[in-house]
Structure 1
Amino acid sequence: MSPSPSRPGPVADVAARRSRATAATAAVTAATLLAAAAAAYVAAAPPAQADTPPGIHVSDGRIVEADGTDLVLRGVNHAHTWYTHTTDSFADIKEAGANSVRVVLSSGDQWTRNSPEDVANVVDLCEENRLVCVLEVHDTTGYGDQYAPDAATLDQAVDYWEDLYPTLAGKEDFVMVNIGNEPMGNDDATNETWAAETSAAIQRMRSIGYEHALVVDAPNWGQDWKNYMRPAAAGVFAADPDANTVFSIHMYSVYNQPQTITDYLEFFVDNGLPIIVGEFGWQQTPADVDEDVVLSEAERLDLGWLAWSWSGNTDPYLDMVLSFDPATPSAWGTRIVDGPQGLKATAVEAAWFGGGGEPTEEPTEEPTEEPTEEPADDACTATLRVAGSWPGGWQGELTVTAGDAAITGWEASFTVPGSTVNNLWGGVHTTDASGVHVTNAAWNGSLAADGSTTAGFIATGTAPSSAPAVTCVAD
């Protein structure tokens, strides 16, 4: 599978991710300096406007709709700007259970500019598919960092939004504007300007006429691991004359410990500041992300999230579906769509579209009978395929399918000579002299007759040239 454009680009993506993973081990900027900067900014900020903005807006630290209905974003990111032909993805994302989609756009500073006509079509697709549309400019990714020499400033992003204003005016009920993606990298001098630059961008957006809920990303490649956004957030929020700004944190390798996730999200909740997890994955090369805690804490605190990403990543382990085909979900996609605290379990359609009810429907009837016999030895089958490969490593995907009767647990076994399986998700694995053994996770062991689930993994070594044989046993 040949690499394709991703975030922030085929070459820069790897370098940027390495930079972020390395930077996460560095010392945090002195708390006293941050506190002083934040206090100074709060003092200088103008008072917030009392009038309630139209459409989606912030109320008492929460995101709500025009009628005051709570709006909890539960959706995915879609790399539209690099794959403008994949317009069917909007319907597919809705079918997966999402109530929102964060759409990647380009201002033309790093990638091909999305025209007003193209953006108007995106907005129409969101409305047709009853999705809250979070539009973002990706060209600001990593500004000031050595790995993003061509990144645009937030002010340049606002130039683009100014051109789009006639297209987006009046769409406040279901469109949110994410001014710039991950607007600064890891350069300290640049990051120290984050509060001032972000506030200036917000105020300029308001002067243009935007009444939409605005979303602002954290610096440090969106992860704020040096805590520039957290102490300055109150001042930035106060700088918005409409008091209608939402903060977005991106959770990748910095967020591999439960307490780190909890502490960051609770700070905003405790201080009455609106926050969403605008991006997160299950892994950021080469480090793990505690995605289960991201999901469970977002559910506990009633916060929104948008998983990265539907498809088209240079590193395919982040694809939720392969080649934009919803019929071939990855284990990551299965986790987000069908797993605990996932889309089907928690996403509620926006009330403006006529939603506002429960998430996915429950079965109308309980099973009337228990199985009269234990499953036979062929109660399940399993297959293994190579989802992607690179020098020295590869990604595998295991698919387990129940037989003619429902099962409550499974174990699949296979051998991959010359390779070592690491970082498996969607199951629990052990390795011994006879091969690799994968048992189900707590959430995907029970399968209906003919039902299937997937598990995935990253392996070191050379990918097998043909699919290894897999045995499967079930309870």
Structure 2
Amino acid sequence: MRHRHALLATAATGALALAGAAAATLPAAAAATGCSVTYRVQSQWPAGFTADVAVTNLGSAITDWTLTFDFPDSGQRVSQGWSATWTQTGARVSASSMTWNSSLRTGATTSLGFLGQWNGTNPSPASFALNGTACTGAVTSPSASPSSPGPSTPPPAGPAPELKVAGNKIVTPQGRPYRLLGVDRSGSEFACVQGKGLWDSGPVDQASVDAMKTWNIHAVRIPLNEECWLGVNGSPSGPAYQQGVKEYVDLLVANGINVILDLHWTWGAYTTGPDWHCKDEQATCQKPMPDARYTPQFWTGVANTFKGNDAVVFDLFNEPYPEIAVDWNKTAGWQCLRDGGTCPGIAYEVAGMQDLVDAVRATGATNVLMIGGLEWANDMREWLTYRPADPLNNLAASWHAYSFNACATESCWDIQIAPLAQQVPVVIGEFGQDDCGFDYMKRLVDWADAHAIGYLPWTWSPWGCTTGAVLIKDYNGTPEPGIGEGYKAHLLTRSPYA
């Protein structure tokens, strides 16, 4: 993640179990002012619930909209919503369009949702109106029951599947398309060089994994520090660090959770970037590119440790940005990314992605490899042109998509990412938004779902969400309001099987 606290990762536990979510659709006759609404209780628990609302405009095109409805029970209230501006007065609820979803052409549907409270009963609203016009029809009450909670997609059972690339999909040994859906868990990239142990005091036991499973998490991305792995710097380092990583990976895989091992912090003095860039020679912050001195050795060690376990994926380098050193020269940046060597503006010798693919494959490891692009892995436009050669053709594109990145709209994703996803698997290795809300993230995961793309937001770490990208309040899995609640509710309705 770019611009972490101290350029690291300073980033809630009652489980919100899905309670047999049922959809109820209101048909409406096609007319100049017609509309239909689908209201679905997505998850429900004592005193709380989340709901999805899909609004379809059946009439003439509109440029902004307000959806209204009345809660049937006096104890029902909207606590927080996304993809609309939500207000409530008495029983009347209003959801007004945002700038990015204000236009609804004829036949278009927009999705929004909210976190709600209830006391006594939680019936569905009986009617809806769009800009004051009734969306005709009746709503069937959802079958959700607070007495019998349970996710619509069961938590992972049995070990995580081994994975490989087939065409533009990641697939299981049976050839079934599989998406990496889960979270990043920060800590192991910085704790060992900051005197905080291996996991920044966070638990890596069965209870902590069970907490992840209540969110329906099927994949965890673990960032690593190359100097700690190699024993060059930090504590723990060397064999102790390696063993700690291996034990946690084995635990996750045994619980049905695939693991992505990501090289996050590396050696190399970078002195030509802006002041906020990492300039420490040691692996204490985020560098523009991996180094030839240690990184091939690092990946040789990781590959030897995990070869034969294809439930583990290797993300070869977190967020490349070599083009910054040459005044945003993208051609030079892509060449540096693939080929390494002496890259303009970078004082240390660089290990390119081809070097790292070669290092992994030389061990005999057959694991899926993820490779990023430029601009902190947000610019993927020349990925196909500059992808390294892999004798196994087992590569996936690692894309990062934060709300503050350059490519942060559906139109950009349609132009830059969708064509890539038609050629190779794309995994959103990191994403988030900078205000602790879920509206941008909801747009992104909905888009990714429509394009069969996997995703893992930053981060499963209880640092307090003040500027975004923190999902939980504690390692029991208590979600942060907005960002955590919204993502958990969404994830509970997803299956990794595309």
Under TM normalisation by the shorter chain, which class is it? 0.5 to 0.7
Structure 1 partner of 2:415: 263
Question: 1:206, 1:134 → 2: CA distance?
Answer: 17
* Counterpart for residue 219 of structure 1: 374
Q: Which has the higher helix share?
A: 1
Q: Deviations over 1:188-213 (max 9, x none)?
A: 54724112211222122211322100
Q: 1:283 aligns with which of 417, 427, 434?
A: 434
User: Is residue 61 from structure 1 mapped to residue 168 from structure 2 by the alignment?
Assistant: yes
Distance in 2 (alpha carbons) for counterparts of 1:330 and 1:185:
36
Q: Which of the numbers 437, 445, 452 marks the counterpart of 1:302?
A: 452
Taking only the aligned residue pairs, the percentage that are identical comes to 20
Whether the 8 Å CA contact 1:258–1:290 is kept in 2: the answer is no
Relative distance call for 1:284 and 1:328 in structure 2 (3 A) is closer
TM-score by length of 1: 0.56
Q: Does 1:205 align with 2:363?
A: no
Q: What is the aligned partner in structure 1 of residue 300 from structure 2? A: 162
Distance 1:262 1:313, change over 3 A: farther
Matched residue, 2:7? 12
Answering whether residue 326 of structure 2 is matched by residue 184 of structure 1, we say: no
Asked whether the 8 Å contact 2:226–2:267 carries over to 1, the reply is no
**Partner AA of 1:75 in structure 2:** G
Asked if residue 115 in structure 1 is aligned to residue 241 in structure 2, the reply is yes
Describe the superposition over 1:244-298 as per-residue Cα deviations: whole angstroms up to 9, x where unpaired. Answer: 011111001124322112222212123x12211111002279x998322211111
Distance 2:483 2:269 in 1: 29
- Indicate whether 1:130 and 2:256 are aligned: yes
1:367-407 Cα offsets, whole Å, 9 max, x none, are xxxxxxxxxxxxxxxxxxxxxxxxxxxxxxxxxxxxxxxxx
SS in 2 for 1:104: strand
Query: Quick one: structure 1 residues 149 and 251, their matched pair in 2 at CA, closer, same or farther if it must change by over 3 Å?
Result: same
Does the 8 A contact of 2:203 with 2:475 survive in 1?
yes
C-alpha displacement of 1:312: 4.1
**1:387-445 Cα shifts (integer Å, max 9, x gaps):** xxxxxxxxxxxxxxxxxxxxxxxxxxxxxxxxxxxxxxxxxxxxxxxxxxxxxxxxxxx
Cα distance in 1 for partners of 2:333, 2:473 equals 36
In 1, Cα distance between equivalents of 2:479 and 2:182: 18
Tell me how many residue pairs correspond in the alignment.
296
Q: Which amino acid aligns with 1:292?
A: K
Deviation at 1:9, TM superposition (A): 5.6
Q: Write the letter of the residue equivalent to 2:382.
A: P
Question: 2:491 is matched with which residue: 319, 337, 343?
Answer: 343
Secondary structure class of the residue paired with 2:477? strand
Return the alpha-carbon distance in structure 1 between the equivalents of residues 247 and 278 of structure 2: 29
Alpha-carbon separation, structure 1, partners of 2:439 and 2:360: 34
Contact conserved, 1:111 with 1:139, CA < 8 A, in 2?
no
Residue identity opposite 1:90 in structure 2:
V
* TM-score for both structures, normalised by structure 2: 0.54
Structure 1 runs of 4+ aligned residues shifted over 6 Å read none
